[in-house]
């Protein structure tokens, strides 16, 4: 495990370095507070730190305070090492952001024991972070397909529409529904139906850019949100998505199954709606037209007054 030693006294720094290297630590040693903070700011910087109180550039408590302001990197367990042992100094050091306090001259056994405590705390911290990330994923993703769930994709759609209005851009949304999916479940069973949904989800993710959103809207319906997509490209992009499903049968435990999808699409620039619910209603109406027109096709929702050539039905 990486550990940072920051001490302007060369003898103390070398002694600590040798001691910790014998214990298997990967030691990074610096002689001032500014270099210490630089190391702690690195994405893969050390998770343990031994900081001398008095250092040139930035004192130990100052490094602690600055380190606690850092964002985007894992927690660092910091131990202040100093000859100061007055209660007010200990309180000041801990309130600056230090996790522990070791007085000079330090005892090797005590030093190593305190570092082991720090490692246990970091391990617990990592487990809590992992558990939190797992809970967040479960709360925002569909358990079958691992796509964003309905609540999460609708929240992202609302955020994207708000951003689009501010920046006068365009968001394209696609409401997608598998054709005759009930027949798949009735004929082959729900296990095969689940296999189809999982493969369709994989293809949908593959068909969009990394910064677009794909969610399971409900049942066999999916919602795709394309960020910064020009309205003139909406139909073309939707056809690519449709072909990605229709052109290759889905391989299942009961053999290959031909699957098609109908899409109702909408480009936000063409509409003056401010609520995601209103836009979803128009996309749903376009999807209904696609179903009524024979399925396996794309229909674009446009205001009735529009004269845009894309207002023609797309076969």
**Which residues are tagged catalytic?**
220
Grouping H, G, I as helix, E, B as strand and the rest as coil, residue 175 is strand
Beta strand pairing call for 2-6 and 48-52: parallel
CB 302 within 8 A of CB 264: no
Q: For residue 298, report the phi and psi dihedrals to the nearest 5 degrees.
A: -115, 135
Q: Residue 255 phi/psi, 5° resolution? A: 100, 175
Instruction: Give the Cα separation of 313 and 290 in Å (integer).
Output: 9
Return the structure tokens found at 43.
């994405």
Distance CA 268, CA 279 (A): 8
Q: What DSSP designation does 194 have?
A: H
To 5 degrees, how large is the angle CA 269–CA 147–CA 294?
60
Element (H, E) at 10: helix 10-22
Rounded Cα–Cα distance for residues 49 and 253 (Å): 54
Nearest CA among 160, 12, 174 for reference residue 83: 12
Token duo for residue 300: 């674009």
């Amino acid at each position: 495990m990486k550990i940072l030693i920051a001490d302007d006294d060369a003898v103390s720094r070398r002694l600590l370095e040798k001691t910790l290297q014998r214990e298997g630590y990967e030691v990074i040693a610096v002689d001032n507070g500014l270099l210490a903070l630089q190391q702690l700011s690195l994405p893969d910087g050390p998770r343990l730190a031994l900081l001398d109180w008095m250092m040139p550039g930035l004192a130990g408590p100052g490094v602690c305070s600055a380190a606690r302001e850092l964002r985007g990197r894992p927690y660092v367990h910091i131990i202040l090492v100093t000859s100061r042992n007055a209660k007010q100094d200990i309180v000041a050091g801990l309130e600056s952001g230090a996790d522990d306090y070791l007085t000079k001259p330090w005892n090797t056994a005590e030093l190593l024991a305190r570092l082991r405590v720090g490692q246990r705390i970091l391990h617990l911290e990592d487990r809590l972070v992992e558990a939190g990330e797992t809970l967040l994923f479960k709360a925002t993703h569909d358990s079958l397909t691992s796509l964003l769930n309905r609540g999460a994709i609708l929240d992202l759609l609302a955020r994207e529409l708000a951003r689009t209005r501010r920046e006068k851009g365009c968001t394209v949304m696609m409401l997608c529904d598998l054709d005759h999916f009930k027949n798949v479940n009735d004929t082959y069973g729900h296990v095969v139906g689940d296999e189809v949904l999982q493969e369709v989800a994989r293809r949908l993710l593959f068909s969009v850019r990394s910064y677009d959103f794909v969610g399971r809207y409900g049942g066999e319906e999916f919602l795709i949100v394309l960020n910064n997509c020009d309205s003139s490209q909406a139909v073309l992009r939707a056809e690519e998505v449709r072909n990605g499903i229709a052109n290759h049968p889905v391989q299942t435990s009961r053999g290959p199954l031909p699957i098609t999808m109908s899409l109702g699409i909408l480009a936000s620039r063409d509409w003056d709606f401010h609520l995601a619910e209103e836009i979803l209603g128009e996309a749903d109406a376009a999807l209904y037209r696609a179903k009524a027109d024979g399925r396996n096709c794309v229909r674009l929702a446009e205001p009735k007054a529009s004269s845009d050539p894309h207002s023609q039905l797309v076969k």
